[in-house]
């Protein structure tokens, strides 16, 4: 086991960036001394989007997530909508598309604008309505100025489902579908936050996609074998995690990946890879090949799935790796490490 | 080393141009561009500076240069007896 | 939004990205290389952006087995030496607000990187360009320093902004590098196998390709200036291998839409009126005469090295043992050694704690070997 900490034994930003460093941190710190759970439980050790516990003939799915984003308002959304979407989507990524209820805990910095808070609250509730759920309990704390950056929101959610879908069910031959354009949230926030002077049609994709996932699961209940939302670390991180856990290689056709013009252009200007940029309203779906076209057709009929595409295939070679076919040649897709940064070379 | 991205000049305002990078617009400074630019020209941008005006016809020149390169190489190849076999081998590799 | 239509438009305009044409060019490159009748034929590119493009498009897979395309010392961030990073780190620790290009943030100094300094509470901002640094400096009273990294192409932007006048609270810490001298160093390395150079297109856009004419005479090696789209790189390599086959030590310009013989005069004037070349170390390579660009005396008032006391010993007294003397990045970049031949590789030097240039860059040879056990490229798609 390699040590995940820096030589001075401190946590750095990359340990929260959703990539390999974070997975190693969870394994080496949070999984130590864990309690035994009932047989069949999908717990923290699965490092999936949520946990699943057997309750009678069904599964109770739980998930929790904390949201920090600076600034709290960005093109296409705000931290409130993000906090609800993220948790609803994490439940959906376990196959649980009817969230029963959410919790919401808010930590606010002294001096935070009350009208901003009210706007965030309206957004929390509007997004809940879209997802068909509600916040049923919460908590509020205020910290001294400078102790946190504006506002932190934690949401947790629960849902029941007959069938759990994990992120590790891929087999060679399975198709990989993405439910829409990649990199929208990451580039929108980056272009806005860093005052790069970029003008374009940037908009975060933050949205609950449980209805879209439900439609897909209804049309192929047995054939959808893996789900993951490509949030931090983008499509690249999601695919790496799915490939590693499933023990398959994944080959992606670059030209089939839907990417908005503005996102593609900004990525080129800033020298970053849109496949490393976060999405907050998309899913990566692993599906048996015979059902791929059927699932795709259903997705494309939904409001948020119009740009869905089949982008790749699972193979037995190179388990744990993701191969990108650029049309010019094939290469291994690099897994992002840490925050995305614009570069000059 | 130097990430350069080409874009099309939309408008010019003194020392600054608004450039369309096929989906994103950004202000680009013209302090060091080699020739005056006007809307419709292409420029090569590096870190927010135009380092070169690319006249639309120069794109065609590059295409012609590459065609010539391929043609010359092909003509030389005709003299070699084993060329066709090699091409076949290459194409075999491609479809592997 | 129409994604596919726009991709085609891009290709039709400036992007030289048609895969079909690339395959034709790759086949030609293979034939020309094989017609030399020996292997490997070794060429070097001296441009990080060439490596980025090669990696990004998986182009290495399209190169023939007989052609060894070696990644040279072409990443200005990777070759920025430890003391230069230390200066920026110390300024940040002194309470100066430091602006940097994103590439530079995680590059380690002798004790820490700018990212570490930021984590410890210093103000370090990543900017897209020096123009943005000027904007931020205007809006604050804080004392600010722009950590200026990059080759001559980037130095030109720094020069232009200095000539236009900086806000009073902004000065420049130059770590700019100048490429032509390092090509001499690599060409003169005793064990070098390099038979030709692919020169950096955007640096040559500034300096002009004429600058390589004396080089080709002196070293009897051909130089081809190439652009950065997939077809540009393949065309550049075909021309370079042709020149090697015909034993013609000449300069060829395969990037005429950006590069002329004279280069960009206006940019050269700005560059040389602000900067002067001095000798200095490039990380992991060598002392490079005239390889560093420093501000001229008449710009002392905006030179961070003269505006601030930067006491490097303050940092070096706490520095861990100096490992860089065991680093063989220079040999790796010259194509003489492979990462596994380095005593530091994988134990003292890894992506989290890089010692040499090749482990710093995400496309660096050592970094890629460490992450994937070899090259990123796998072969053609079906």
Q: Is B22 on the interface with C (CB under 8 A)?
A: yes
Of the pLDDT bands very low, low, confident and very high (cuts 50, 70, 90), residue C363 is low
Domain locations in chain A? 1-33, 48-161, 175-332
Nearest CB partner across the interface for C231, out of B3, B6, B66: B66
Does domain A48-161 match CATH 3.30.1330.10? yes
Long-range contacts of B66-71 (CB under 8 A, 24+ apart): B66/C16, B66/C21, B66/C25, B66/C231, B66/C235, B69/C28, B69/C235, B69/C238, B69/C239, B69/C254, B70/C24, B70/C25, B70/C28
Distance CA A101, CA A157 (A): 6
Considering only residues A54 and C356, tell me which one the structure prediction assigns the higher pLDDT. A54
- Segments in chain A below pLDDT 50: 1-7
Residues of A in contact with C132 (CB under 8 A): 195-197
Enumerate the residues of chain B whose CB falls inside 8 A of the CB of residue C231.
66
The whole-number pLDDT of residue A276 equals: 94
How far does the CA of residue C345 sit from the closest CA of chain B (Å)?
24
**What are the counts of helices (DSSP H) followed by strands (DSSP E) for chain B?**
2, 5
Nearest to C228 among B4, B49, B52 (CB): B4
User: Given this model, what pLDDT does residue A4 score?
Assistant: 35
In a shared domain, residues C86 and C136: yes
d(CA C103, CA C92): 17
Shortest Cα distance, chain C CAs vs residue B13, angstroms:
16
Predicted TM-score (pTM) of the model is 0.89
Residue B92: what pLDDT? 47
Which CATH number is B13's domain given?
2.30.30.140
Please report whether residue C27 resides in a domain: yes
Q: Which chains touch C (3+ CB pairs under 8 A)?
A: A, B
- Would you call A268 and B25 a contact, using CB atoms and an 8 Å cutoff? no
Q: Are residues C221 and C270 in the same domain?
A: no
Which of A198, A199, A344 lies at the smallest CB-CB distance from B2?
Answer: A344
Q: Which CATH number covers residue C233?
A: 3.40.50.11750
C238 in the same domain as C107 = no
Shared-domain flag, residues B35 and B62? no
For the cut 80, the answer to whether the pLDDT of residue C28 exceeds it is yes
pLDDT band at C3 (very low <50, low <70, confident <90, very high): very low
Distance from C-alpha of C334 to C-alpha of C358, rounded to nearest angstrom = 12
Q: What are phi and psi of A173, to 5 degrees?
A: 100, -25
Do A344 and B23 lie within an 8 Å CB cutoff? Answer: no
Q: Residue C377 in 3-state DSSP?
A: strand
Task: Identify whether residues C95 and C226 lie together within a single domain.
Answer: no
> What is the domain range of residue B20?
5-54
Q: What are phi and psi of B47, to 5 degrees?
A: 40, 40
Pair (C304, C210) in one structural domain:
no
Chain A CB within 8 Å of residue C19 CB: yes
pLDDT for res B63: 82
User: CATH number, domain at C109?
Assistant: 3.40.50.11740
Subunits close to B (at least 3 CB pairs below 8 A): A, C
Chain A CB contacts of C55 under 8 Å are 331
- Regarding the domain delimited by A175-332, which CATH topology (the fold level of the hierarchy) does it fall under? Phosphoribosyl-aminoimidazole Synthetase; Chain A, domain 2 (3.90.650)
Does one domain contain both B65 and B49?
no
Question: Dihedral of CA B76/B81/B87/B93: which sign?
Answer: negative
**Cα angle for residues C200, C44, A275 (degrees, 5° grid):** 65
**Pair C107, C227 in one domain:** no
- Predicted confidence at residue A196, as pLDDT, reads 78
When mean pLDDT is compared across B85-89, C109-113, C268-272, the lowest value belongs to B85-89
Which residues 38-67 in chain B show a CB within 8 A of chain C? Answer: 42, 44, 46-49, 51-52, 54, 58-59, 61-62, 65-66
Round the CA-based radius of gyration of chain C to a whole number and report it. Answer: 21
Mean pLDDT estimate for chain C? 87
Number of domains in chain B: 2
Full domain range(s) for residue C279 = 82-179+264-316
Residue C15, pLDDT above cutoff 80: no
Task: Provide the domain count of chain C.
Answer: 3
Give the pLDDT score at C8.
46
Whether C213 and C236 map to the same domain: the answer is yes
A207 contacts A130 by C-beta, under 8 angstroms: yes
Question: What is the structure's pLDDT at B95?
Answer: 42
Q: Does A147 touch chain C (CB under 8 A)?
A: no
Task: Inform me whether the C-beta atom of residue C103 falls under 8 Å from chain A C-beta atoms.
Answer: yes
Q: Is the peptide bond before A326 cis (omega within 30 degrees of 0)?
A: no
Same domain flag for C97 and C165 = yes
Cα(B36)–Cα(B29) distance, integer angstroms: 12
Same domain flag for C70 and C98 = no
Residues B40 and B61 in one domain: no
Query: Which chain C residues have a beta carbon less than 8 Å from that of B73?
Result: 28, 31-32, 238, 242
The tens place of each residue's pLDDT in chain B, 96 residues long, gives 478 889 999 999 999 999 999 889 999 999 999 999 999 899 999 999 999 999 877 887 888 888 888 888 888 766 554 544 554 455 444 443
Tell me whether residue A33 is exposed, middle or buried, using C-beta atoms within 10 angstroms of its C-beta: 0 to 12, 13 to 18, 19 or more: exposed
pLDDT digit string, tens, across residues B36-46? 999 989 999 99
CA distance A212 to chain C (A): 21
- Three-state secondary-structure class, residue C20: helix
Cβ partners under 8 Å of residue A147, min gap 6 = A109
CB atoms within 10 A of CB A64: 16
Residues 6+ apart with CB under 8 A from A192: A71, A74, A75, A202
Using alpha carbons only, give the angle C57, C61, C64 rounded to the nearest 5 degrees.
130
Question: DSSP of A174-240, one letter per residue?
Answer: -EEEE-S-SSHHHHHHHHHHTT--EEE---------HHHHHHHHHHSTTTEEEEE---TTHHHHHHH
The pLDDT assigned to B83 comes to 47
Distance CA C129, CA C184 (A): 30
Spatial CA neighbour of A161 closest among A206, A102, A210: A210
- Residue A57: which residues within 8 A CB-CB, separation 6 or more? A162
């Amino acid at each position: 086991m390699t040590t995940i900490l820096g030589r001075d034994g401190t946590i750095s930003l990359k340990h929260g960036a959703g990539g390999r460093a974070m997975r190693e941190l969870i394994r080496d710190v949070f999984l130590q001394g864990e309690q035994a759970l009932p047989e069949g439980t999908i717990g923290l050790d699965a490092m999936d989007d949520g946990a699943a516990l057997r309750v009678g003939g069904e599964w109770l799915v739980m998930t929790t997530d904390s949201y920090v984003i600076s600034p709290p308002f960005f093109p296409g959304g705000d931290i409130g909508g993000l906090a609800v979407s993220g948790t609803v989507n994490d439940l959906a990524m376990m196959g649980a598309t009817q969230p029963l209820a959410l919790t919401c805990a808010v930590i606010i910095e002294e001096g935070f604008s009350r009208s901003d808070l009210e706007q965030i609250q309206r957004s929390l509730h509007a997004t809940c309505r879209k997802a068909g759920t509600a916040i049923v309990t919460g908590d509020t704390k205020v910290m001294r100025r400078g102790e946190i950056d504006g506002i932190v929101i934690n949401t947790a959610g629960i849902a029941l489902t007959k069938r759990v879908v994990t992120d590790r069910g891929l087999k060679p031959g399975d198709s990989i579908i993405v439910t829409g354009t990649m990199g929208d949230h990451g580039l929108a926030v980056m272009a806005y936050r860093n005052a790069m002077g970029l003008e374009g049609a940037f908009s975060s994709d933050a949205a609950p996609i449980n209805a879209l996932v439900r439609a897909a699961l209804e049309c192929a209940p047995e054939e959808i074998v893996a789900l993951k939302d490509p949030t931090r670390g983008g499509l690249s991180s999601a695919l790496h995690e799915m490939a590693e856990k499933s023990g398959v290689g994944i080959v992606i056709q670059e030209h089939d990946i839907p990417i908005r013009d503005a996102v593609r252009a900004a990525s080129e200007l800033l020298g970053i890879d849109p496949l490393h940029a976060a999405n907050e309203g998309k899913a990566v779906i692993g599906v048996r090949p015979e059902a791929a076209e059927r699932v795709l057709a259903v997705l494309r009929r939904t409001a948020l799935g119009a740009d869905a595409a089949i982008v790749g295939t699972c193979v037995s070679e190179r388990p744990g790796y993701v191969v990108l076919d650029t049309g010019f040649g094939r290469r291994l897709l690099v897994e992002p490490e840490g925050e995305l940064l614009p570069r000059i070379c | 080393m130097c990430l350069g991205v080409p874009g099309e000049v939309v408008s010019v305002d003194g020392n600054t141009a608004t450039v369309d990078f096929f989906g994103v617009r950004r202000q680009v400074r013209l302090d060091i561009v080699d020739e005056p630019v006007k809307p419709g020209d292409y420029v090569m941008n590096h870190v927010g500076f135009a380092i070169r005006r690319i006249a639309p016809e120069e794109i065609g020149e590059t295409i012609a240069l590459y065609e010539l390169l391929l043609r010359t190489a092909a003509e030389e190849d005709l003299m070699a007896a084993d060329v066709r076999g090699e091409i076949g081998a290459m194409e075999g590799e491609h479809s592997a | 939004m129409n994604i596919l239509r726009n991709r085609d438009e891009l290709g039709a305009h400036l992007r030289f990205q048609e895969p079909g044409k690339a395959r034709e060019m790759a086949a030609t490159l293979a034939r020309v290389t094989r017609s030399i009748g020996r292997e490997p034929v070794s060429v070097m590119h001296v441009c990080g952006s060439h490596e980025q493009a090669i990696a990004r498009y998986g182009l290495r897979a399209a190169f023939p087995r007989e052609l060894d395309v070696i990644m040279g010392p072409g990443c200005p961030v990777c070759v920025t030496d430890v003391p230069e990073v230390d200066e920026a780190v110390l300024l940040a620790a002194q309470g100066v607000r430091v602006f940097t290009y994103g590439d530079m943030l995680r590059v380690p100094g002798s004790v820490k990187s700018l990212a570490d300094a930021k984590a410890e509470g210093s103000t370090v901002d990543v900017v897209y360009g020096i123009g943005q640094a000027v904007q931020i400096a205007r809006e604050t009273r804080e004392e600010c320093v722009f950590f200026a990294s990059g080759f001559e192409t980037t130095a030109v932007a720094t020069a232009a902004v200095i000539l236009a006048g900086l806000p009073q609270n902004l000065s420049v810490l130059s770590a700019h590098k100048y490429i032509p001298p390092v090509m001499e160093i690599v060409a003169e390395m005793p064990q070098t196998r390099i038979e030709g150079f692919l020169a950096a297109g955007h640096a040559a856009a500034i300096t002009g390709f004429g600058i390589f004419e004396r080089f080709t005479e002196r070293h009897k090696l051909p130089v081809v200036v190439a652009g950065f789209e997939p077809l540009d790189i393949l065309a550049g390599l075909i021309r370079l291998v042709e020149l090697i086959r015909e034993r013609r030590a000449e300069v060829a310009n395969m990037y005429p839409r950006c590069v002329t013989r004279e280069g960009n005069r206006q940019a050269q004037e700005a560059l040389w009126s602000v900067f002067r070349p001095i000798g200095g170390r490039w990380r992991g390579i060598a002392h490079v005469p005239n390889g560093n660009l420093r501000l001229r005396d008449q710009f002392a008032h905006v030179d961070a090295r003269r505006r601030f006391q930067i006491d490097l010993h303050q940092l070096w007294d706490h520095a861990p043992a100096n490992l860089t003397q065991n680093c063989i990045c220079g040999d790796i970049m010259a194509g003489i050694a492979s990462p596994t031949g380095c005593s530091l590789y994988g134990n003292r030097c890894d992506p989290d704690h890089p010692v040499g240039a090749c482990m710093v860059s995400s496309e660096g040879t050592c970094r890629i070997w460490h992450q994937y056990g070899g090259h990123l490229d796998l072969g053609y798609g079906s």
